[in-house]
Structure 1
Amino acid sequence: MPRRPRILAALSAAAVVGSLLAAPVSAADPVPVPEPAPDYCRKQCHHVLPPGQNGNATFADLVAHLLLGTRPAHSDDQLAKYDRLATRYPELTIGIIQEFFNDNSFGVRPDDVERIYRPREDVTIVRDRTAGIPHIYGTTRSGTTFGAGYATAENKLFLMDVMRRAGRGEVTPFAGGAPANRELEQRFFAASPYTEQELQQQIDAVARLGERGAQALTDAQSYVDGINAYIEQAHRGRFFPGEYVATGHVDPITNEGRIEPFRLTDLVVLASLVGAQFGGGGGNEVANAIARMALHERFGPERGEQVWHAFRAENDPEAITTVHDGRTFEYGTAPANPQGVVLPDPGSVSPQQVVFDPTGSAAEPAEPDTQPESVNPRPATDDPVESLRGMFDDGVVPTGMGQPGGMSNALVVSKAHTDSGHPVAVFGPQTGYFSPQLLTLQELQGPGISAKGASFAGLSFYTLLGRGPDYAWSATTAAQDIIDTYAVELCEPDGQPATKNSNHYRFRGECLPMQTVERRNAWQPNLGDDTPAGSYRLVSFRTRYGPVTHRATVGGRPVAFTTARATFLHEVDSIIGFQKFNDPAAITSATDFQRAAHDINYTFNWFYVDADDTAYFNSGANVLRQPVVDPSMPIASDPAYEWQGWNPATNTATYVPFREHPQSINQDYYISWNNKQAPGTAGDKLEKSAVQRGDLLDGRVAEHIAAGGTFTRVTLTRAMAEAGVTDLRAERVLPDLLRLIDTQPVDDPRTAALVGELRAWLADGGRRVETEPGSREYAHASAIELMDAWWPLLVRGEFEPSLGAPAYQALTDVMQINESPSGWQNGEPGLHVGQGHQGSAFQFGWYGQVSKDIRGVLGEPVPGGFGEPLCGGGDAATCRRMLLDTLAQAAATPAEQTYPGDADCAAGDQWCADAILQTKIGGISQNKISWQNRPTYQQVVEFPAHR
């Protein structure tokens, strides 16, 4: 059949089955709406998750979206609510809070019921009209988790399918060999290169974790059964996601093809993907070592070490901390005289090769990483196939998705400082912006389960972040160091001299072969991929100390650097903690919550609130290291430097006990924006220094309380929202820069005018907000552009002359100098490295380092500073001249260079460069929204009563 009539026939078939889209298996008799579960929030809990709950679109939906711009119901109905807070937060009141958030009460009002059905006799699912959220009521526990699997597949099946393949390093055989697909599968494969046997072993290990472990395994199996029940019904009824047609897995006419059922091991893969993205810390030791060595080479050991410590900010006395009650929690810091540090020979480090035997498109040179000057959409066509062909040209999974990210943020105020006398919280995870969203919303009510909130799609048999009957909880990424780098000596089994390419290593006196884990990936062009056919092998080389990441020489002898991760082979151990969060019988107090959080081995900051109490706990598999070990540097692979109690066969060790984890109950307030957890607790990078984005939250809350003020849900939300549109560099660093500039009059009138623009912006709050809602133009636009162009120039001008080019470059490899809303800028204006349009900004950057050095130039005492300032060689006049020269250079930088165009924005479009884009994982795109630095999913909570 010719292609055009064939597609028209397919569209006709899609229209015929359209009536099936909302008709899963249901009982013959009308299904009554279940009674709401006990709810002590009394309409004072709210939440929002853009762009919308529904992430599935049929083939007909996709064609309609591409040709007509329509979207399936509930795929974008939370986007505008989320967007409008950025400009309208000053007018927020309790009376209009529903314009920005949805009601997060238990149950569904009778007038808000959109659909009610029973995919199995022991579970009822009620979809609300407001947001399409599934409220799942099980008469049995199995029915509850079965319903969760069924409802999640209804909303996010294709997303879940892509993610389980990404976690295995097998995206390209499923969705084609686009560069973005290859990048993602390589990154996650390198982080968690598991065999299928190891995935199953982790499942078996959960079953041995007592009664709760056995229950968790049963819950997970029922959940998988629910997913597969939906797959079977959707395929048979032809209401499955249309991306399976677009990627060539199902024929639109004959319905031939296959959507592979889910297995328990897929859940382990998804857990490892989430853990790698959000729940780890450390592993940067090779980059640290190179930077430290470069500083020693430049300054000598004593001065070089002083400069390194200032940059490292391991325990910066000026850094804000979540726990600020005077207690110290020591973890991850370097001893005074470390032993077992292994430094590679200069210039000898090379990354471990992952890709082997490329053929076809895999062997072709990569496309140049250029960005177009203007948007060039695919030409319009009336042929649905031609429209669908471009759907996944750039990959089914977006470039940059695997970049490490931060979960943020949290503001929690104790009852002593609220109007009502009950604690107030505004908190949520920042998981990036995708269409469909990685998170999914649900309410679960069944035996031993009563919770509502957000979970990662594919792991939603429990609510991961949300609320129970009379308590709520959330998390931010903590990133304390649970990943160490070991240097293993390479060897040859026949006794011949080893080389950097040798694949045997010494372990406790033996020359052992490295274990190899392989993926043989091949792809063919199909409807969803214009990339030519190709193939390659992905190979991970593993030692008892973990996967190999680099090879080098040390004293001329070849070594491999490995990553020993505390959660490796234990991706699903955290299931017990999440199970407790969902069980009201297990969570009856703040202490109960902290104990449950301790069962989670990922590095998260957990926050809790009920009608009386607030609490904080820092979870993670915090290994107990030998006292002589410096965890920020590569470590010799010797038993004397291994984790205490380490068993290489099971990757278990002795862990820091509960009482030594950073924690608190009923502190006056808590804030977290991926900042330092507590005095004494070291982070994995350099960002937890004197200036960190958590300052934007801490200052607003602390100053209000110090002035005798109290908080409501509205005022705390306003504090969060204002911080979320504020440029950290303007509020916290620009005052230092202006003080140095102001030490003398600015003689040049043009430069003086530039300084005046910056000063006026700062006086108006240093915010990046539209002139009015929907204007797509910033107030103080020229000052904002000036700062965006100036920052990379001033940082280079401040540090590179003193550090020297090699050390400066090495330090940027440890942490980029900037993280602006439009992307990372790491050198010159316009040199953007990373993924823009993702909202989260100012987490990483040399903000504290710049502030400390400039204050040192001004002659002020600077705790944890550089000693002798680096800018201008310590001369204030020279440093000031550099600031003015680079400011003038920034003013002359074209906007097209500061804001280079990309596939979504024309070059020079400032608002668009910053704008949040819900990056597609599938076929439904979304409108851009204004930049705001805020959680993806967010709760606003105040419980007036409890059980």
Structure 2
Amino acid sequence: MRKRWTGLVTAACLVVTAAPSLAVAAPAAPAPHERTAAASGEVADYCRGQCHDILPPGENGSATAAQIILNKITGAKPKHTDDQLGPYADLVDEYAGLTDGKLSTFFNDASFGVPDDQVESRKRPGGRDDVTITRDKSGIPHIKGTTRFGTEYGAGYAAGQDRLWMMDVFRHIGRGELTSFAGGAEGNRQLEQQFYLGGAYRESELAAQVDRVRNSGPRGEQAFQDVTAYLKGLNRYISDAKKGLYFPGEYDLTGNADIFTGDGIEPFEATDLVAIGTVISALFGSGGGNQVAAALVKQAAEHKYGKEEGEKVYRAFRMQNDPEADLTLHDGQRFDYAASPENPRAVAMPDPGSVSRQQVVYDPTGSAADGQQAKRTSGTDAVGTGAVAESARERSATSDANVRHKPELAQAEGALSDGVLPKDLFARKHGMSNALVVSGKHTDTGNPVAVFGPQTGYFAPQLLMLQEIQGPGLSARGAAFAGLNLYVQLGRGQDYAWSATSANQNMTDTYAVDLCNADGSPATKDSSGYMFHGTCTPMEKLVRKNAWSPTVADGTKAGSYKLVAHRTAYGVVRYRATVDGDPVAYTTLRSTYRHEVDTLIGFQMFNDPEAVTGPESFQEAASRIGYTFNWFYADARHTAYYNSGLNPTRSPGVDPNLPIRAGASTEWRGWDPETNTVPNTPDAEHPQDIDQDYYESWNNKIAKGYTVAGFGDGPVYRSNLLDRRITSLISDGGKVSRASLTRAMEDAAVTDLRGEAVLPELLKVIDTEKVTDPELKETVDGLRGWLEDGAKRKETGPGTRTYAHADAIRTMDAWWPLLVEDEFRPGLGPDLYGALTDALQIDEAPSTPGGGVAHKGSSFQHGWWSYMHKDLRKVLGEQVPGAAPETFCGAGDVAQCRHVLLSALEKAARTPAKSTYPGDDVCEAGDQWCADSIQQRPLGGITDDLTNWQNRPTYQQVVQFPAHR
């Protein structure tokens, strides 16, 4: 819907021409009676100025329509939109000389409270006298309440101030209704479809999650009260913003609000927070679910090599428990979980060529006639198992899209023309990185040091928001996902700090359910019934009906479709196939499905100074979180680690890494199919530790025996970059400081993993003979020089946008895909090679769109580096633990292997930069720096500058507590 565009343009022009300063200012300053002091009483802060953090691009994620238009015309931005982006980006150029005293140049002071000379504003939201929001000069809200209700009310109000539009987008994504809300642009459609099967719920099921937590005990009841207060504060902000006409301009630009009244912005309900939680869970906290891809690799390996040899090849490439993998728990601890048994039962391997993806989109319609008003509606129907059709809330509006308005308006709306979120946001689960935690016995003061944070991607505004929250039972500062920020999720308490990385252990299994027809006729792959405990049972069809109207800027036509999820007791259908000739549906069953909200209790405990008093109580709180995370802790005396996740106990003999034949004998132990409730494995079986000499994590393997989901976790993983630097710092009695550990992190952040870890092996093979061709020798010497200089991807100087060793880096970027294919494809054959590349991408260099995502910063999580490292060492005659039975490079002959490497290298050297870096919507073809650069990908109308590549957490803390309670 596009309401009253003429009025919008007129209002915007008045603001831009008559009072330009208002267009970029924060919402109007509070009235004098609102500028009251925070509640009296100081909060204990044992960090004493030694806690820092950073979260680009800036705290403010809200802009009016006039501000968005002005941004497109002049580049001006609302205050605090990007003021943390510069310090974050500048660390790339300055880290070598970093000292403890200079940390504040690149990080915020994360102390509790706001000194008087750093106060920018104070506000008592809703006129309440039990809470004050004090914003510092970075715009960060410090919420202080004298009552628990008031404190959470303030958290909700602050969330509305900083992230209202984004929260609204995410509650629609969580329901699969983004196009009905924000239009039918391709990006919106693709994003909606990618997510829908992972979070298909009825409204009643979202509400049931809230009720279950409320009834789970005292902490659950408190969480419900916190949510209630949070929503009241959030909805009060919406009311205030509508009255003051400073609500986010994206509502206008997508036609979801009246420019003069704000009508169309709906209040938030508890179920909206559940919908947001399902999105965050899908992105960061669920491991497994890729068993069909693994089955296709195994099938292709057995077809190529025979069953026995093929099994060995499959296991070598799967690397479930590779003996050379970097381990977070490296002192010999062992935690056995989810490994494939020697002789598995009930494995449901698909018949060759029979696998097809489950259809998601149904009944797409064409465009409406010009000038017709299109109605946006959304709803969910549940059909099957006797369920009565149930519809969600409807949202409707009108559109006047037959007139093109002023260019500046079209430009502003054009910022959203491809969709309000990147279409590839869910193309791959994100890796949360990283953590460097060093015990006090290796530090300068005897107190542990931690440099850690999550890599949640780079967006404008950011998915996370910074806040401090102080009130009865609440005392923390840090980052939280917008819409879930009633508690700090990663940050610091009074005398401790904590963070997380994604753990990726398998808590999502794939079941093959036998298909059937209720009338007894022969089943086909398209059948809508399945066998459950001996009875042919109808699948539930969860249907989301979406319709969208035309847009002004991008020419999208009106249309509609239905999103359909087919659900069984064993989860949502993802694929259809045949197994031994019989039709089956492959479903994915996630242990946290219908239980996303349960995790709220663990976060509540993290924020409670009475609940977390040391490493053991921290681990207890972490155990209450159902998502698959590695949790790290540091206080003045101790460090700790805990692996969270709702890990189901499998039936004996089943293989959780391949599809499982569904049936009573193969189900999770203690599983209740009615509510998808399953007991967690015993606490002692979750990897955990206190006071190891150091911990490092970059989504790598956790401990011996603990199987992660996915391929390629072997001797070369990006966590090696951290491990080498930490061990170098503490070797020979070295003492670690906050600055030195930050330097180690940043040095790893600008290093090419292939260059540091694999290039030495490549050069060993090449150096078995002298390179006589002058041009080729120059190329090899260039790579050698780059390696000797640390294999960095760094500019020649600040702002030059030109890399030192640019030719060597370009050569490596062009060489790697050629190298992998030439080394492995001939021996593996096209079918097995294709199945393996589907299961694990070849490369994830900064300029490589990993999972289809470019300019994302996070790099080198997924690739074939371990495969090549092992294979080259075998060629050189080394004994290689865990290697494949076959040697692929040159069929094991070093001279032939050398020929393969040099032949590929020669092609790479001649590949023009424009081919290696083909360009996109933000970069010209051939621009190496730009291809690598980080983009704060717009989630709204304001855009930010590109910055240097660095492989680093989005939100990051640097902490060292000198004292403890």
Q: Same fold (TM over 0.5)?
A: yes
Give the C-alpha shift of residue 34 in structure 1.
Answer: 4.6
Give the C-alpha shift of residue 135 in structure 1.
Answer: 0.4
Secondary structure (helix, strand or coil) at the match of 1:574 reads helix
Distance 1:22 1:213 in 2: 38
Give the C-alpha shift of residue 61 in structure 1.
Answer: 0.8
Question: 337, 346, 350: which is aligned to 1:344?
Answer: 350
Contact 1:452-1:468 at 8 Å conserved across structures: yes
Match of 2:268 in 1: 262
The one-letter code sitting in structure 2 at the alignment partner of 1:358 is: P
Match of 1:714 in 2: 739
Contact 1:439-1:457 at 8 Å conserved across structures: yes
Contact 1:822-1:836 at 8 Å conserved across structures: yes
Match of 1:385 in 2: 409
Contact 1:39-1:469 at 8 Å conserved across structures: yes
Give the C-alpha shift of residue 868 in structure 1.
Answer: 3.2
Question: 499, 515, 518: which is aligned to 1:474?
Answer: 499
Match of 1:360 in 2: 366
Match of 2:443 in 1: 418
Contact 1:67-1:382 at 8 Å conserved across structures: no
In the alignment, does 2:180 pair up with 1:178?
no
The one-letter code sitting in structure 2 at the alignment partner of 1:244 is: Y
Distance 2:622 2:284 in 1: 16
In the alignment, does 2:88 pair up with 1:63?
no
Distance 2:413 2:220 in 1: 46
Distance 2:14 2:923 in 1: 36
Match of 2:94 in 1: 88
Give the C-alpha shift of residue 655 in structure 1.
Answer: 2.2
**Structure 2: stretches of 5+ with no match in the other structure:** 370-403
Match of 1:293 in 2: 299
Match of 1:621 in 2: 646
Contact 1:168-1:188 at 8 Å conserved across structures: no
The change in CA–CA distance for 1:3 and 1:239 in structure 2 (over 3 A counts) is closer
Which of 894-903 and 538-547 deviates more?
894-903
Contact 2:289-2:588 at 8 Å conserved across structures: yes
Note the 1:465-864 alignment, pairs <5 A: 465-527=490-552, 530-824=555-849, 834-864=852-882
Contact 1:337-1:628 at 8 Å conserved across structures: yes
Match of 2:471 in 1: 446
Contact 1:176-1:529 at 8 Å conserved across structures: no
In the alignment, does 2:424 pair up with 1:400?
yes
Contact 2:35-2:124 at 8 Å conserved across structures: no
Match of 1:197 in 2: 204
Secondary structure (helix, strand or coil) at the match of 2:363 reads strand
Give the C-alpha shift of residue 875 in structure 1.
Answer: 1.6
Match of 1:829 in 2: none
After superposition, give the CA deviation of every residue in 1:129-170 in whole Å (9 maximum; x if it has no partner). Answer: 431000001111011011001001100000111111111111
Give the C-alpha shift of residue 28 in structure 1.
Answer: 5.8
Secondary structure (helix, strand or coil) at the match of 2:895 reads helix
Secondary structure (helix, strand or coil) at the match of 2:469 reads strand
Which of 679-688 and 110-119 deviates more?
679-688
Contact 1:173-1:523 at 8 Å conserved across structures: yes
The one-letter code sitting in structure 2 at the alignment partner of 1:144 is: T
The one-letter code sitting in structure 2 at the alignment partner of 1:199 is: L
Contact 1:578-1:596 at 8 Å conserved across structures: yes
The one-letter code sitting in structure 1 at the alignment partner of 2:782 is: E
Give the C-alpha shift of residue 709 in structure 1.
Answer: 1.1
Give the C-alpha shift of residue 86 in structure 1.
Answer: 1.1
Question: 155, 158, 161: which is aligned to 2:162?
Answer: 155
Give the C-alpha shift of residue 817 in structure 1.
Answer: 0.9
Distance 1:242 1:686 in 2: 44
Match of 2:10 in 1: 8
Which of 685-694 and 11-20 deviates more?
11-20
Distance 1:322 1:178 in 2: 43
Give the C-alpha shift of residue 124 in structure 1.
Answer: 3.5
Which of 296-305 and 428-437 deviates more?
296-305
After superposition, give the CA deviation of every residue in 1:53-77 in whole Å (9 maximum; x if it has no partner). Answer: 0000011211110111000000100
The one-letter code sitting in structure 2 at the alignment partner of 1:22 is: A
Give the C-alpha shift of residue 360 in structure 1.
Answer: 1.6
The change in CA–CA distance for 1:554 and 1:361 in structure 2 (over 3 A counts) is farther
Match of 2:399 in 1: none
After superposition, give the CA deviation of every residue in 1:760-798 in whole Å (9 maximum; x if it has no partner). Answer: 000000010011111111000000000000000000011
Match of 1:142 in 2: 149
Question: 242, 245, 251: which is aligned to 1:244?
Answer: 251
Secondary structure (helix, strand or coil) at the match of 1:191 reads coil
After superposition, give the CA deviation of every residue in 1:403-445 in whole Å (9 maximum; x if it has no partner). Answer: 3111000000000000100000000000000000000000000
Distance 2:290 2:330 in 1: 28
Report the identity percentage. Answer: 54
Give the C-alpha shift of residue 388 in structure 1.
Answer: 2.3
Distance 1:616 1:25 in 2: 47
Distance 1:178 1:700 in 2: 46
Distance 2:171 2:514 in 1: 35
Note the 1:313-352 alignment, pairs <5 A: 313-352=319-358
* RMSD of aligned Cα (Å): 1.8
Give the C-alpha shift of residue 918 in structure 1.
Answer: 0.1
The change in CA–CA distance for 1:712 and 1:10 in structure 2 (over 3 A counts) is closer
Contact 1:247-1:528 at 8 Å conserved across structures: no
> TM-score under structure 2 normalisation?
0.94
Distance 1:145 1:785 in 2: 51
Contact 1:385-1:527 at 8 Å conserved across structures: no
After superposition, give the CA deviation of every residue in 1:282-322 in whole Å (9 maximum; x if it has no partner). Answer: 00000100111001101111221111111101000000110
Which of 18-27 and 644-653 deviates more?
18-27
Distance 1:725 1:519 in 2: 44
Give the C-alpha shift of residue 35 in structure 1.
Answer: 4.5
Match of 1:371 in 2: none
Give the C-alpha shift of residue 687 in structure 1.
Answer: 3.2
Question: 876, 893, 913: which is aligned to 1:895?
Answer: 913
Which of 102-111 and 23-32 deviates more?
23-32
The change in CA–CA distance for 1:10 and 1:917 in structure 2 (over 3 A counts) is closer
In the alignment, does 2:934 pair up with 1:916?
yes
Contact 2:187-2:421 at 8 Å conserved across structures: yes
Distance 1:160 1:25 in 2: 27
Distance 2:13 2:368 in 1: 35
Distance 1:716 1:508 in 2: 56
> TM-score under structure 1 normalisation?
0.95
Distance 1:416 1:22 in 2: 51
The one-letter code sitting in structure 1 at the alignment partner of 2:64 is: T
Distance 2:469 2:902 in 1: 59
Distance 1:624 1:443 in 2: 38
The one-letter code sitting in structure 1 at the alignment partner of 2:222 is: Q
Secondary structure (helix, strand or coil) at the match of 1:489 reads strand
Distance 2:68 2:120 in 1: 23
Secondary structure (helix, strand or coil) at the match of 2:274 reads helix
Question: 219, 222, 227: which is aligned to 2:234?
Answer: 227
Contact 2:38-2:134 at 8 Å conserved across structures: no
The change in CA–CA distance for 1:453 and 1:680 in structure 2 (over 3 A counts) is same
Distance 1:357 1:674 in 2: 40
Distance 1:267 1:6 in 2: 31
Distance 1:476 1:29 in 2: 40
